[in-house]
Chains A and B, each alone.
Chain A
């Protein structure tokens, strides 16, 4: 069964069309990688799928778990089981990580009709995830992404991924800005998350993260279009030959 179907999707920002007639599906349990040069529309696609209000769907549909979510709000998409790990997570002044994580956790659970958990149960879960990510437990007293290093920000995204337990996670350049150690622990976090009931859409410029996520399929984007698709070998070929010739 397909968890995501993108049908004839065209999107504009301002008065300019920036994504043109995209068609693809992701099956339950599948990991799909979107590759492409800078400015190819990969990150835009990630934000469009999450419901960023700056983008207008001029045609087509986004079907998530059988429901048309084309007009759904970001929070409704999150509740439905979609998650976006940001390429550049926002630094939020004055908002502590712990209450933010707990409120978001409660919001998503209650929207999914799941039982509320006590703050203690949540704390335990959070501490467990922090330990797995090899992050100090006092981390949650910091303000959301405020003065975090690039690696810390990505770990914070992975922490939120684990807490949100989405059925489809979109990872936008999750491997950028990570040193080797951080990349290893990010890769492990993704391995912990991934099972055969959830799916991944990995947006990446590089191959590095693919050591940890074995893609089932690769989509190549250029200038707002999907220009090629194929199996895992396509990723390797792109690594060797670059994107030249694909646009």
Chain B
């Protein structure tokens, strides 16, 4: 167990030499945006979209309603860096230092064992991508989005930045201007994949910015599960992750998006994830946020089709120096739609967890059902938890249930476990893992084990 925890710690402590950063400059300007597009050999429409987004980025103000972002110096971020040319088709062809990083994260091993397909992004570009042949034969596309823009423009263009418009906020505009890499996943009508597909995003260099874009289209009646993992080493210099995820779940389709984010504690994680859910379709978000100094993440489901539904399950752990401002957003825009939000947060060592949620019922959305449940665990007197649930209800037929709780680790539970020989920190970690179990049980085993380990790591040297 101890060795495993060490391996996990190396996620934040180890990094590779980054000679390629000599070619990369920090700061953002039009010529950088043009260079990104040129290097990727993009079609004109994409360059035009990038430039329009850049213009918008300059116009939009930083959001003021959430955590303080004033320390983030956007001029010091490196927006684009390529650690290798092209993309490896075989794992062996990935440069050794990068390969070692992903080996340590268990990526190739998991691919062989439990995954239908895997992608690995390092800095701004995807270094490896693969999909099992049986799924290729069924017409599934699992590609680097940079590649997909050129290879499948007819599929990409109608959807790209539609669920997540650049006008949404300043970081969506920034993302639209400098996005690079990410995933394109297309599941044809009726195709059901039980094994998860996975992408892993790794930031390596100091002061890096990562802006991968994930575009997922689940056609009618199809089913799939996609998992993202993310990490970055810590340098004591701010880095920025402003990824974008857009998901389109068509009629009667089912899709689950899981992510475990463990960015280093000097990263700003300002992420945007949105799904458009059509008739009788079901969208599930399962997420864990552990790293970063500041996270702002509110996965959003827009229920546009009759009978559409969404589950939002999330865990956030805010330790010393961290702000986890996370939550969910659901827009009920059709009849008989339902949403279920379950959020669990843990605050420790002065960390701040905020649940921020918005549920909106449109006037036409008759008989909507909403359940929101947020539970906060506050481990010491220095830590903070807040709940900011907003409901905009424009249809009187809606059924809304809202429950919130905040508390500490139960002292009698802790004594019970300790009386069995478990050390205080170990016992507390077990109780915290028990607290988030309703979420972790929804993750594939490897990920729930990983999440439990992260909790153990965060709980070390804790209670005194």
Complex interface: stretch among A82-90, A128-136, A191-199, A230-238? A82-90
Of A50, A53, A73, A95, the contact of B433 (CB 8 Å cutoff) = A95
In the complex, are the beta carbons of B417 and A78 less than 8 A apart? Answer: no
Q: Given that A92-B416, A92-B417 are contacting pairs, would A104 and B422 also be in contact in the complex, using a CB cutoff of 8 Å? A: yes
Please tell me if the beta carbons of A53 and B411 are within 8 angstroms of each other in the complex: yes
* Range for the number of chain B residues in contact with chain A: 20 to 34
B431-A74 in contact (CB<8A): no
CB nearest neighbor in A for B423? A75
Q: Which residues, 148 to 205 on A, are CB-close (under 8 Å) to B?
A: 160, 164
Contact A111 B413 (CB under 8 A): no
A100 at the interface (CB under 8 A from B): yes
A73, B422: Cβ atoms under 8 Å?
no
Q: Is the CB of B420 within 8 A of A95?
A: no
Asked if B419 contacts A78 (CB within 8 A), the reply is yes
Report how far A166 CA is from B68 CA in the complex, Å. Answer: 54
Is B266's CB within 8 Å of the partner chain A?
A: no
Residues of B within 8 A of A95 (CB): 430-431, 433-434, 437
Interface digits, B19-47 against A, CB 8 Å rule (1 contact, 0 not)?
Answer: 00000000000000000000000000000
> In the bound complex, do residue A164 and residue B435 qualify as a contact, i.e. CB atoms below 8 Å apart?
no
Indicate if B174 sits at the interface (CB-CB under 8 A). no
Closest to A80 in B: B421
B436 touches A94 (CB 8 A): yes
- Whole-angstrom distance from the CB of A126 to the nearest CB of chain B? 14
> Which A87-128 residues have a C-beta within 8 angstroms of B?
89-90, 92-95, 100, 103-104, 107-108, 111
Chain B positions within 8 Å of A51 at CB level: 418-419
Any A CB within 8 A of the CB of B415: yes
Q: How far is the CB of A81 from chain B (nearest CB, A)?
A: 10
Interface residues of A in 16-73 (CB under 8 A from B): 47, 50-54, 73
Q: B433 touching A108 by the CB < 8 A rule? A: no
Partner of A79, one of B410, B412, B421: B421
- Verify A108–B420 contact, CB threshold 8 A: yes
Partner of B430, one of A52, A75, A103, A164: A103
Cross-chain contact of B411 among A54, A83, A164 (Cβ < 8 A): A54
CB neighbours of B427 from chain A (8 A): 75
The answer to whether A160 and B433 touch across the interface, beta carbons within 8 angstroms, is no
The answer on a CB contact under 8 Å between B421 and A111 is yes
Residue B212, interface by CB 8 Å: no
Within the complex, what minimum Cβ distance (angstroms) separates A52 from chain B? 6
Q: In the complex, which residues of chain B have a beta carbon less than 8 angstroms from the beta carbon of A75?
A: 418-424, 427
- Give chain A nearest CB distance to B149 CB in angstroms: 43
Majority secondary structure, B binding face: helix
Partner of A104 from the list B411, B415, B420 (CB cut-off 8 Å) is B420
Instruction: Give chain A residues whose Cβ lies under 8 Å from the Cβ of B238.
Output: none
Instruction: Indicate whether A107 sits within 8 Å of B431 (C-beta atoms), given known contacts A78-B419, A94-B438, A164-B421.
Output: no
**In the complex, A84 Cα to B430 Cα: how many Å?**
20
CB within 8 Å of A: which of B412-460? 412-413, 415-424, 426-427, 430-431, 433-438
Given contacts A75-B422, A103-B426, contact A94 B416 (CB under 8 A): no
Q: Are A86 and B416 in contact (CB under 8 A)?
A: yes
**Cα–Cα distance between A92 and B422 once the two chains are bound (Å):** 14
CA–CA, A103 and B411, complex, Å:
20
For the complex, what is the distance from the CA of A47 to the CA of B422, rounded to whole Å?
16
Interface centre among A93, A111, A160 (most CB of B within 10 A): A93
Instruction: Give CA–CA (A104, B419) in the complex, Å.
Output: 9
Determine if B437 and A74 form an interchain contact, defined as CB atoms under 8 angstroms apart: no
Nearest-neighbour CB distance to chain A for B455, whole angstroms, equals: 11
Q: Determine the distance from Cα of A104 to Cα of B434 in the docked complex, in whole angstroms.
A: 16
Q: Mark B265-287, 1 if CB is under 8 A from A, else 0.
A: 00000000000000000000000
Interfacial chain B residues near A90, Cβ < 8 Å: 410, 412-413, 416
Across-interface contacts of A86 in B (CB, < 8 A):
416, 419
Which of A50, A73, A93 contacts B437 (CB under 8 A)? A93
Interface contact B422-A93, CB-CB below 8 Å: no
Which residue of B is nearest A146, CB measured? B434
| Min distance, Cβ A134 to any Cβ of chain B, angstroms | 23
CA distance A53 to B424 in the complex (A): 12
CA distance A96 to B421 in the complex (A): 17
Contact across chains for A93 and B421 when beta carbons are under 8 A apart: no
The reply to whether B415 and A103 contact each other, CB–CB distance below 8 Å, is no
Q: Are A78 and B430 in contact (CB under 8 A)?
A: no
Q: Do the beta carbons of A107 and B437 come within 8 Å of each other?
A: no
Shortest Cβ gap from B357 to chain A (Å): 23
Query: Which of B417, B419, B434 lies in contact with A50, CB distance below 8 A?
Result: B419
Task: Evaluate contact between A108 and B421: CB separation under 8 angstroms.
Answer: yes
Please name 18 further chain A to chain B contacts, defined as beta carbons within 8 Å, in addition to the given A53-B411, A75-B422, A104-B420, sorted by A numbering.
A51-B419, A52-B415, A74-B415, A75-B418, A75-B421, A75-B424, A77-B419, A78-B418, A83-B419, A90-B416, A94-B438, A95-B437, A100-B430, A103-B426, A107-B421, A107-B423, A143-B434, A164-B420
Give 5 A-B contacts (CB < 8 Å), ordered by A residue. A90-B410, A94-B433, A100-B420, A100-B430, A107-B420
Query: Residues of A at under 8 Å CB distance from B?
Result: 47, 50-54, 73-75, 77-79, 83-84, 86, 89-90, 92-95, 100, 103-104, 107-108, 111, 143, 160, 164
Those 7 A-B pairs whose CB atoms lie nearest each other, nearest first:
A94-B437, A94-B434, A108-B421, A78-B421, A104-B420, A74-B418, A90-B416
